[in-house]
Amino acid sequence: MIRTRDFLLGVIAIIFLVSSIGLTALLNIPNSLTGNFEVIKFTESNESELSVIVFPESNDRADNIARLKEKISNGEGLSAAGSVVLTSVSTPEVKGEDEKEDEMVARAVKTCTAPTDYSKIVSSWPVQGLLQKYAEGARVYYVESTAVTSAGSSTVVTEEESVLLQLLTSNSRNAYDTCIDGNVIGVTTTGALLYNSDAVSFKQTSTATLVGYALDGFPIYGLLDDDSVLDSCGGLKVATGYQYHLRASENFVVGCYAGTPEKFSSES
């Protein structure tokens, strides 16, 4: 039979043992919270090893990435036999304004799917004798010819005008772009046909120099130092209206028409 004294001593010993274990666990908790958790390794029956690392919470993203890189460089990480091992972590690259500008796609000519054959226009366009005037809201290009008629015993000499092209004037561009239908895109100030590939010939002209007029009636001016303000067709709105400008980085005069292009009289 167990004595009462022996029973009490046993109970006291058990209480002391449980209290000691609990106190030890409580004392270890703060230490575990102040730093990284230790690596916990699990060993499977096939002798492959799985390691897990837990990092303390941090609001500093840069510190977390640096800490993770350090762990990886020391050979630590999450790995298992036959699986891919994480070896590096890269920080997303933040591109500067200069790099963003380099990625901008350059303007290109918006060509029509059904181009116009301007070969007859080119061959018949006068090298000399072309006249131009402004009449009824249009810029008119024409040539004069002399007609001699006889009426009985008298002869009548008349001057006739043959209109080659009329360009309507407008101050504002259309809400949409119009494609370029061929190589002829306008007329120069000297009366010659202006080709879209003639851009290199006018690279030395100043911003305020009038080169000519496009087939949609808008004027074309010289090289603009800052072409970032130009739209898709290569023009911009100024106090006097819409106008095109040449650009140093492009080998064409206009990228598209901002207005409605007019046809040559011989095309009608």
Domain ranges of the chain: 4-73, 119-123+170-267
Q: Can you tell me the mean pLDDT for 80-107?
A: 42
Of 57-66, 169-178, 193-202, 219-228, minimum mean pLDDT range? 57-66
Q: Where are the alpha helices (DSSP H) in the chain?
A: 4-33, 61-73, 97-102, 119-124
pLDDT tens profile 114-157 = 999 999 999 999 988 899 999 989 999 999 988 777 777 777 77
User: Does 252 or 58 have the greater pLDDT score?
Assistant: 252
Order the strands of the 219-223 sheet from edge to edge: 193-195, 184-188, 210-214, 219-223, 241-246, 235-238
Q: Can you tell me the mean pLDDT for 213-238?
A: 94
Tell me the C-alpha distance between 192 and 179, whole Å: 22
Q: Which structure tokens are listed for 53?
A: 């690392």
218 pLDDT more than 60: yes
Tell me the C-alpha distance between 173 and 210, whole Å: 18
Helix (H, G, I), strand (E, B) or coil at 265: helix
Angle at 190 between CA 210 and CA 179, to 5 degrees: 65
Residue 62: CB atoms within 10 A of its CB come to 9
Tell me, what's the pLDDT at 74? Answer: 60
User: Does 78 or 72 have the greater pLDDT score?
Assistant: 72
Tell me, what's the pLDDT at 104? Answer: 38
CA-based nearest residue to 187, from 170, 166, 173, 206: 166
Per cent of the chain over pLDDT 90 is 46
- Dmax over CA atoms of the chain, in Å, equals 168
DSSP conformational letter for 92: P
